[in-house]
Amino acid sequence: MLITDSTMTALHASLTGLQQRQRVTADNIANVQTPGFLAGRVDFESALQNEIASGETPVVGRSAMSRSLDPTRTDGNNVNLDTETVIATETGLRYQLSLNALDGKYALLRSALRTQ
């Protein structure tokens, strides 16, 4: 038996998108000195927001990875370590918030199952 609802599906989609953003940000930081490397960016929020607003079931794993169009240094690299650090920190906080929300949903289910 599978117990899910639209909130749990949206949270799962969010966690998946945030996880991908964490990987891309780590890749950006690892390539901060690689000539010609363009920073990657992950956008899943707009697709998730549109799906929720239209009443569709959010699709887990739907995120768009693109390359940053920020100006490059003379070596063709546009990774900014300060920007990547802020993105990594914000992504980690959002991931933790989503986990806490999902944990709260599961706690409600556990409580409901115990009382029956």
- DSSP E strands in 8-112: the ranges are 40-43, 64-67
- Reported as a single tens digit per residue, the pLDDT across 75-86 is 999 999 999 999
- Full-model pTM: 0.84
Centroid of chain to Cα 94: 8
Residue 100 has pLDDT above 60, yes or no: yes
pLDDT at 4 (0 to 100): 66
Q: Domain residue spans in the chain?
A: 6-114
pLDDT at 1 (0 to 100): 40
Query: Helix H segments across 31-79?
Result: 45-53
Four-residue CA torsion sign, 72, 75, 77, 83: negative
Percentage above 70 pLDDT, the chain: 93
